[in-house]
Amino acid sequence: MTEAIRPYRTGPAEFDGIAPGYDESRGGAARADGFAEQLSPLLDPALPVLDIGVGTGIVAAALTRRDRRTVFGVDLSPGMLALARGRLGPRVAVGDAGRLPVRTASVPQAVSTWLFHAGPDRTAVFREVARVLRPGGRYLVIPVRGRRPVDDIGRVVNALEDRLDPAGARQDGPEALAPVAAAHGLVYEGTASERRTTFEVSPRHMARSLSGGLFTGAWPVGREDTRFVDEARERLLALPEPDRPRVREMTDFVMVFSRAA
Ligand SMILES: C[S@@+](CC[C@H](N)C(=O)[O-])C[C@H]1O[C@@H](n2cnc3c(N)ncnc32)[C@H](O)[C@@H]1O
């Protein structure tokens, strides 16, 4: 008998557990600096920013360093926020993105990087963003999926993502988010600040990342899901030359949402 798959809802426990190794396992300072470089030209440097799902604060700190701007942060996970507090000081608070502890129409601009695939209630998040943004304010979102390589590793990982998320609740691209934003009166202006990066990874290394919880560490999973991850790992190890690194190219972009002035 299989255990029922729990609905996808992130709780603090999932990210608390992986907080200590989070930055290093997700691209470290290079990813954060790259995201700051993408977001920065789309933000008014004179105005503060709210980072929703700020995590360890690694991206927020990079934004602060870049333009000496003030960044505030909200996150559900006390473990992630403990690290953010070390970087941003008292400007961070535990809170749900779907119930922001922030006054109506008080936020000039907001960002979220890699938030929506983590499973927050996206309807609630966009309702809250529409409430807290000042008229004319912008909400910038960098999705985790971006444009990803469809090579032999990519085919296995994409198939795993589809099996773990058959309803598409963790899809975080424009097709998934723009309609939700529109339903709450936010205008989707399109994508901006594309950034191409290349990296090398072998099938064996990717298989090891899956064992280390690349998905299961951050997603609440039932036994069925664990089986899918095991199968994906086996498929990766069965690829030709599993120790040969593949050069993989991906493109990250920013989705721009705005509240009418
Ligand atoms: C993949 S991490 C990204 C963190 C950070 N933005 C970054 O780019 O490094 C996703 C973060 O979203 C937070 N999160 C997930 N659901 C949330 C919610 N409903 N409200 C607030 N934060 C949430 C998690 O606790 C986690 O810190």
Model confidence pLDDT, tens digit, residues 7-38: 334 455 678 878 888 888 788 999 999 999 99
CB 44 within 8 A of CB 108: yes
Does the beta carbon of 73 lie inside 6 Å of ligand 1? no
CA 53 / ligand 1 centre spacing (Å): 4
Does the beta carbon of 98 lie inside 6 Å of ligand 1? yes
CA 1 / ligand 1 centre spacing (Å): 33
Q: What's the confidence (pLDDT) of residue 9? A: 42
Which ligand 1 atom lies nearest to the CA of residue 125?
Answer: 19
Tokens of 21: 């190794």
Domains and CATH numbers, the chain: 12-148+168-199+250-259 (3.40.50.150)
> Which residue's alpha carbon is at the smallest distance from atom 26 of ligand 1?
55
Does the beta carbon of 53 lie inside 6 Å of ligand 1? yes
Q: Determine phi and psi for 44, rounding to 5 degrees.
A: -80, 115
Model confidence pLDDT, tens digit, residues 101-127: 999 999 999 999 999 988 899 999 999
Model confidence pLDDT, tens digit, residues 188-223: 999 999 999 888 889 999 998 887 666 655 565 566
* Ligand 1, pocket-test mutation among 8, 9, 15, most atoms within 8 A of CB: 15
CA 33 / ligand 1 centre spacing (Å): 18
Which residues does 135 contact at the CB level (< 8 Å), separation at least 6? Answer: 105, 259, 260, 261
CB 161 within 8 A of CB 216: no
CA distance 60 to 183: 28
